[in-house]
Chain A
Amino acid sequence: MKKKQNVVIKGTKEGLTFHLCDACSFEELKRELEERLTENTFLHNDSQPISVKVHSGNRYLSEDQKDEIRNIIGKKRNLVIESFDANVITKAEAKELAAQNEIISVARIVRSGQILAVPGDLLLVGDVNPGGMVMAGGNIFIMGALKGIAHAGVNGNSSAIISASVMKPTQLRINDCITRAPDGGFPENERRGMECAYIDEDNRIVIDRLQVLIQLRPNLTRLEGGF
């Protein structure tokens, strides 16, 4: 009877995918991985690099274990690990992921010297005064006046947006883009309604009517199925 293989190597258009069995022990897995790499002669040809994806099924690989696998596969000079994938994540990672997708609502005034930071989207019922700062991993929605600093998409999300009923910020930051208030302040008594800021195609922050987001950022809608 043929023994079930713990390491299955499949070739795809993009390169190779290593499917690692999640039922055997990690030691067994390492041993078999090494065996498979030495016996497969087609892998000895080190003319051109082949990208490798590692899929560990229902096995959670710690960073140390990933390093070990990286070392084993790295012995073949033409194999380059592109990514690790698995069906499982830790609870901490799951919580972080959930937090990043959450809209957190806060009712208060962010005053000078105060910093309000959330991992996901921020819905602020109140103002941000000059000298105050709000930060969010996702979008920022301010129901009151934004007169301080708002930083959306802090973890590298450049499609994040900032919106406020009164948009008079000292500075706007989205991902790593920064823009500041015009010298001499904002024009007085110009009633413009709710506005939003986003990064346009030229990688600059622009301020526009809130309604343009419907076209520009359709994924702001999270309602499934429509209405």
Chain B
Amino acid sequence: MGEAIVVTSGKGGVGKTTTTANIGTALALKEKRVCLVDTDIGLRNLDVVMGLENRIIYDLVDVVVGRCKLHQALVKDKRFDNKLYLLPAAQASDKTAVTPEQMKTLIDELKQDFDYVIIDCPAGIEQGFKNAIAGADRALVVTTPEVSAVRDADRIIGILEKEERIAPPRLIINRLRNHLMKTGDMLDIDEITTHLSIDLIGVVVDDDEVIKSTTHGEPIVLNPNSKAAIAYRNIARRILGESVPLQPLEDEQKGVFSKLKKLFAGK
């Protein structure tokens, strides 16, 4: 019996889909059987980021209404030898095509077959969000170091904390720009974690390579030289229960590094 993890943020454009794709891929690289589920019905794009768009035959809504069997809708990622699958969202329907109960049944079914089910949540707190969290056991909240994203993350955490089925959510700070944080023109990690007061599971620096790899439909984690890739791999290891210290944002920045280490050790 596997575990379902929802990746959510409240605000759009902070990198939920990229995070889902990369954490899922990183877990598959760790020899886990992983299924990615896109719940952004009507605005699907996880398939594009994964480079699997052209293989979609059936989608999530087809499964829920019974037009096909679950295994027929799963798209296998050939790069990972039976380890990574994608359940794409429907593009022609909208969020109301599925109910939270149906979603939960679907996720429970997937959990029988996979070690990890990673759910990509749409932006907002409406029906799509409710569907996405319905079957989740754990939650990862993605935010960027911007006040608007942090505010929305706060709202989302508040809602997630009310859901008793879901373990306390953990935080990913995405697109961190070190030079702006150093000059104090962007929220720093400390500020964000004290404000949201939940566990930090990873920090991903802003990296042009992420955009390049997305364009080519290939998750950044496959490129081991990128800082963002290492960050995503570390997040995957932390999900697996390993204790991995936070990566230094910049090697010469001893001060920030020790601060981060202290912060992470404190959790």
Instruction: Give chain A's interface residues, CB within 8 Å of chain B.
Output: 109, 111-114, 127, 129-132
- Check if A112 sits within 8 Å of B197, measured CB to CB: no
> Within 8 Å CB of B197, what residues of A?
109, 127
> Within 8 Å CB of B161, what residues of A?
111
> Within 8 Å CB of B152, what residues of A?
112
Which residues, 188 to 203 on B, are CB-close (under 8 Å) to A?
195-197
Interface contacts (Cβ under 8 Å), in number, total: 27
**B90 touches A (CB below 8 Å):** no
Question: Closest approach, in angstroms, between the C-beta of B142 and any C-beta of chain A?
Answer: 16
The listed residue with most B CB atoms (<10 A of its CB), out of A109, A111, A131, is: A111
Complex: chain B residue closest to A108, CB-CB: B161
How many angstroms from the CA of A132 to the CA of B157 in the assembled complex?
A: 12
Mostly, the A contact residues are: loop
How many angstroms from the CA of A114 to the CA of B158 in the assembled complex?
A: 7
> Within 8 Å CB of A112, what residues of B?
151-152, 154-155, 158
Instruction: Give chain B's interface residues, CB within 8 Å of chain A.
Output: 151-152, 154-155, 157-159, 161, 195-197
- Check if A130 sits within 8 Å of B158, measured CB to CB: no
How many angstroms from the CA of A109 to the CA of B154 in the assembled complex?
A: 10
Some 12 contacts from A to B, beta carbons below 8 A apart, are A109-B158, A111-B154, A111-B158, A111-B161, A112-B152, A112-B154, A112-B158, A113-B155, A127-B197, A129-B154, A130-B151, A132-B158
Question: Closest approach, in angstroms, between the C-beta of B14 and any C-beta of chain A?
Answer: 15
Q: A113-B155, A113-B159 are in contact. List 9 more A-B contacts (CB 8 A).
A: A109-B197, A111-B158, A112-B155, A112-B158, A113-B158, A114-B158, A129-B196, A131-B151, A131-B155
> Within 8 Å CB of A129, what residues of B?
154, 195-196
> Within 8 Å CB of B155, what residues of A?
111-113, 131
> Within 8 Å CB of A131, what residues of B?
151, 154-155
The listed residue with most B CB atoms (<10 A of its CB), out of A113, A130, A132, is: A113
How many angstroms from the CA of A132 to the CA of B154 in the assembled complex?
A: 9
Complex: chain A residue closest to B152, CB-CB: A112
Question: Closest approach, in angstroms, between the C-beta of A130 and any C-beta of chain B?
Answer: 6
How many angstroms from the CA of A114 to the CA of B159 in the assembled complex?
A: 9
Question: Closest approach, in angstroms, between the C-beta of A9 and any C-beta of chain B?
Answer: 59
Complex: chain B residue closest to A130, CB-CB: B151
Cβ-closest 5 pairs across A and B: A111-B158, A112-B155, A112-B154, A113-B155, A111-B154
> Within 8 Å CB of B195, what residues of A?
129
How many angstroms from the CA of A146 to the CA of B196 in the assembled complex?
A: 13
Complex: chain A residue closest to B158, CB-CB: A111
How many angstroms from the CA of A131 to the CA of B153 in the assembled complex?
A: 12
> Within 8 Å CB of B157, what residues of A?
111
How many angstroms from the CA of A131 to the CA of B103 in the assembled complex?
A: 30
